[in-house]
Structure 1
Amino acid sequence: MLKILLIAMLSLSPIAAGAGAWARDEGTLFIAAGGNFLLSDGAELPVHYDPTVYAEYGLTKRVTLGLDVYTADKGRIASAFGFAAVPVGSITGANRAMVSLGYGYRLNPDTTTEALMRLGLSLGRGMDRGWLSADMSATIGMLDTTWRPKADFTYGHIWSDRWATTMQLQTGIGYYDDEYVKLNPTIIYTFTDKIKVNLGAVKALSGDGGSALKLETWLTF
């Protein structure tokens, strides 16, 4: 079912934490850090504490460099990627697309490490008071040579200069080849142009059906 969903959503032309389909402004550094808390009883997979650190830097108008560090599978797995992303076509129109290539390492549950490569495609459409986006990637391990796809689909709405909301559907295949689906609604508050706070919830629609609250801080320099 998940594979059918991924293929169907790839055919659609849809600004969350990462720029996604939007290139980072030249000379601008963006950092997002956070994780889940107040887990429901029995929440282990696919929702756990899942701390993340994500960064992007606009090297030029068309080249964005990034770092993506996170844990998964009840904290038994840790991954770190460096990546480069470039736009496909226009960087000024309402419809945007970015492709990315990443390389990194994963700490496996048996404490071995494994080199990884990640390919990504992000599609986005800006609207008067919001945006639609689809962020898709596939990761392959150099040892197990297994491709594991993931795809996040987001609708964002800007209510005012201070407040915005998003609704995101997260799908993918985990380390143990388990298919996961999660729903992630959030509220974003803008303190200043450089500081935003994202408070939301995560609800698993697969696995143990667990849930949690989610908190992230977004910084722009």
Structure 2
Amino acid sequence: MRYIVPTVFFALCACAAQAGPWPREKGVVFTAFGGNFLLSEGAQLPVNYDPTFYGEYGLNGTVTFGVDYHTADLGRIQAAVFFASFPLGEPVGPDVFSAQIGLGARMDPLNPVEHLLRGGVSWGRGLDSGWMAIDASATYGDIDQLWRPKADFTWGHHLNDRWSVMAQLQTGQGYDDDTYAKVNPAVIFHINDRYSVSIGAVHALTGDRGSALKLDLWTTATIPRFHATE
């Protein structure tokens, strides 16, 4: 395979919105879901309970299909985007690049359903015992007719076969035209080859500067390939 990256990178890079530039292997399904709990007093924006679901499917080892669902604005806004990601050229040394295009919708109780178009690029580098990645995207809504940018900066380190640590800076523009920044350090326990649990904290650097604990469950599975028999 041309894009040789340890399999655990795929799981660890799959955060709320994007999953770094490494393609999912053919037939492999990855899911991540979770949210925040034990919010600090007064925490509302940009940190709230924020339940999320993220899924990927490796089509052929190069193209990856996925879905990204999340809530915002105290849970009043729901958004889902179906996307495809693909490599940008060959890896340059340890550096890997990819692009993403997606279509989706945003729903809230006060407005009609808004259709979304999302485009993004990612960069990643595998380290001796970890990885770094930058995921940048912009989402366009056909009602407000604005491009809303988002960028995540991720660093991870593998302590051993069972434990890893990760830190992420999440930045972007919210639906109320506010800008936000959050930090999310986490510890990951790899139960086995299929399941991992991430527990950490999230703290807002903007808005009300609220905090919470964060819990996510990640799963990886391979869809069996059925062959016709004569």
Fold equivalence (TM over 0.5): yes
Give the 4+ runs in structure 1 shifted more than 4 A. none
Which residues in structure 2 correspond to 1:113-132 (within 5 Å)? 113-132=113-132
Q: 2:136 is matched by which residue type in structure 1?
A: M
Q: Aligned with 2:13: secondary structure?
A: coil
Structure 2 Cα separation of the partners of residues 87 and 31 of structure 1 = 21
TM (norm. structure 2) is 0.87
Q: Which residue of 2 aligns with 1:72?
A: 72
User: Aligned pair 1:23/2:23, yes or no?
Assistant: yes
Which residues in structure 2 correspond to 1:79-118 (within 5 Å)? 79-90=79-90, 93-118=93-118
Contact 1:131–1:155 (8 Å) recurs in 2: yes
Unmatched segments (≥5 aa) in structure 2: 1-11, 222-230
For the aligned residue pairs, the C-alpha RMSD in angstroms reads 1.2
Bigger radius of gyration among the two: 2
Q: 1:17 is matched by which residue type in structure 2?
A: A
- Count of matched residue pairs: 207
Contact 1:153–1:169 (8 Å) recurs in 2: yes
Q: 1:16 is matched by which residue type in structure 2?
A: C
Which residues in structure 2 correspond to 1:53-202 (within 5 Å)? 53-90=53-90, 93-202=93-202
Q: 1:28 is matched by which residue type in structure 2?
A: V
Q: Aligned with 2:161: secondary structure?
A: coil
TM (norm. structure 1) is 0.91
Structure 1 Cα separation of the partners of residues 61 and 94 of structure 2 = 17
Structure 1 Cα separation of the partners of residues 167 and 47 of structure 2 = 17
Deviations, residues 33-55 of structure 1 (Å, cap 9, x unaligned): 00000000100000000000000
Structure 1 Cα separation of the partners of residues 109 and 205 of structure 2 = 24
Q: 2:154 is matched by which residue type in structure 1?
A: T
Deviations, residues 178-203 of structure 1 (Å, cap 9, x unaligned): 01010000001000010000001000
Structure 2 Cα separation of the partners of residues 59 and 207 of structure 1 = 40
Q: Which residue of 2 aligns with 1:36?
A: 36
Q: 2:14 is matched by which residue type in structure 1?
A: A
Alpha-carbon offset, residue 134 of structure 1: 0.3
Deviations, residues 118-140 of structure 1 (Å, cap 9, x unaligned): 00111000010011100111000
User: What is the percentage of aligned positions where both structures have the same residue?
Assistant: 53
Contact 1:183–1:205 (8 Å) recurs in 2: yes
Q: Which residue of 2 aligns with 1:45?
A: 45
